[in-house]
Structures are given as C-alpha cells and as structure tokens.
Amino acid sequence: MTLPLTGLTAVVTGAGRGLGRAEAHELARLGAAVVVNDYGQPGRDGSGEASAAPAESVAAEIRAAGGRAIAHLGDVADFATARGLIDLAAGEFGRLDILVNNAGILRDRMIFSMTENEWDAVVHVHLKGHFNTTRFAAAHWRDRAKATGAPVYGRIVNTSSEAFLAGSAGQPNYAAAKGGIVGLTTSTALALAKYGVTANAICPRARTRMTQDVFADLPADPSPGVVDPLAPEHVAPVVGYLASPSASAVNGQLLVVHGGMVAVMERPRVAAKFDSAKDMFTFEELESTLGTHFGSRAPGETFASREVLTLKRD
C-alpha cells in the first residue's frame, strides 16, 4: 500500500522535542522525507559524554525506523537561517512540499510586569519565525508553479494557540504572537491558493518541555492502558492529515486539537450593527446605542472565547 505522503518532502521546525518531534515522526511514518529543524545544539549527557543535538537525534530515530530524514540546526527566527532551511530541503530531496511551523518559546508575565525583552523574544521566535519559513517556502512554490505553468503541491501547517482564542491573561506576548500567526495563515491561504498551496493553523494542547509549567504533571504511576490526554501524539495525526492530499479542500482554517478531539473554529461573524442617524455618529448617539448593546451582555464577556478551554473528547 502506498503511503499518503510518499515522494513528498516536509520541513518541521522546533522538532527536536515534544510536539515537533511527534509531528516529524508522523510525517515520516506517512511516507514523507523530513528535514528536522531545531535550535538546540550538541551537548553533554549525564556522564559527561558528548550528545547529539536534539534535531540530529530525531532524524536518527526516523532513519532507524526506515524513514528518510536529515537534521538542520538553527534558529528560524533568523531570516537567513530560514532561507537555508528551505534551500536544504529542496537541495537534499529535490523539492519542498510540506512546511510545519512549530518552533516556539514562552516568557510568561502579566502585562504590567512584562519586560521589552520578554515581549520581543516571544514575538520574534513565534511570529517572525513563522513568517521567515513561510516566505521562502512560498517563493519556492511560486517559482515552481511559474516554471511549469500549473499548480504545485504545497501544504503549510502553522501552530497557533488557545491562548489567542481565550485571551490568556498571563501570556500577552504569546497570545499576541499566536493571534498574529492566525492572520498570517489566512493571508497566506488566500495568496497561495492559485499555486495549489494550502495553509492552515492548529491550536494544540500538549504536554511538552515548553508547557511543563502550564499543565500539571502526569501521575508518576498512571493506570495501565491510560493514555495521557495531553500527549503530543494526539496532535501529530491531525498535522499528517492536513499535510496530505486528502486535505486539499481544507484551506485557511483554524483547528483546536488535543486528547482525541478536533474542533473546527468558526470564522468571526458580525454580532451587531448600528447605523448613525445622520452622516456621522455623535458621542451621545454612540452612548445610547453601544451603551445599550453592551449593557445587556453578560459581565466579563469579551471577544475572547473562554469556552474553548472547556472542549474535550466526549
């Protein structure tokens, strides 16, 4: 049986551990050749012996399982490094077909305590990192499409977060970056559709090194057969599906994914509309119309979707 991603090449950023590692393994299992990117460098293990960089270890795991994979060490938030990553995929495997943007960091702090560096670091890695790789992947696909005069195969899966949807109070930098990624995704989806490329975003909930201070630890001795509902392996199959030919009609979408559940988020809709009595609103008129509208809503209700945090598998 031919695997759904046979003959395709994927890049996964931040794939040395956690969610990216699970996604890289899943794409390889489905037949793709994978470029495993991670910023982590070689180090030393507990005995003082030299240890491979996380990306190299994951690439080796994929090859040991019979797949094709190479490692790329570097920070995709750097423009030139991102260019090199896309060039490496095309040069090593002949083409790029799938881009999974996953690299990220956390610098949590309340808005009144956050430093400039904490803001800049998170926006830099998440939002600029997503832009950098997308920019060079998009140029690769556009050039291929223009050379052949026909659409090509291209899939982008970006990583947003429920922090954006629900308005996480202690993560203003992270929520802003993840909201920006959704805007980047929908813009990219419209721009690249004519070239045969789709772009979608997921909001995964997973227990990883990055979220170890966010989610409670799994019990040290879980019951036999119990699967961690926050295991990254719950998310990876959704990424595999979005990267596949089966998802050709899925474009510009946002999906919440965790614990055996996928929720397709609805686009924003107009909740209410008010027209001025004359050519221009006055303060008094707005005070009357908008004041009445918002005065009738539940206290604390905002544009944020707090109910998304209550989603779970039935």
Which residues belong to the active site? Answer: 161, 174, 178
Strand partners, 11: 35, 99
| Residues 184, 178: Cα–Cα separation, whole Å | 10
43: part of which helix (H) or strand (E)?
A: strand 43-44
Burial per residue of 99-133, b for 16 or more beta-carbon CB atoms within 10 angstroms, e otherwise: bbbbbbbbbbbeeeebeeebbebbbbbbbbbbbbb
Query: Which two three-digit tokens encode residue 288?
Result: 């009357």
Give 263: exposed, middle or buried? Use CB within 10 Å, 0-12, 13-18, 19+: middle
| Residues 266, 263: Cα–Cα separation, whole Å | 9
Output phi, psi for 19, to 5 deg: -65, -45
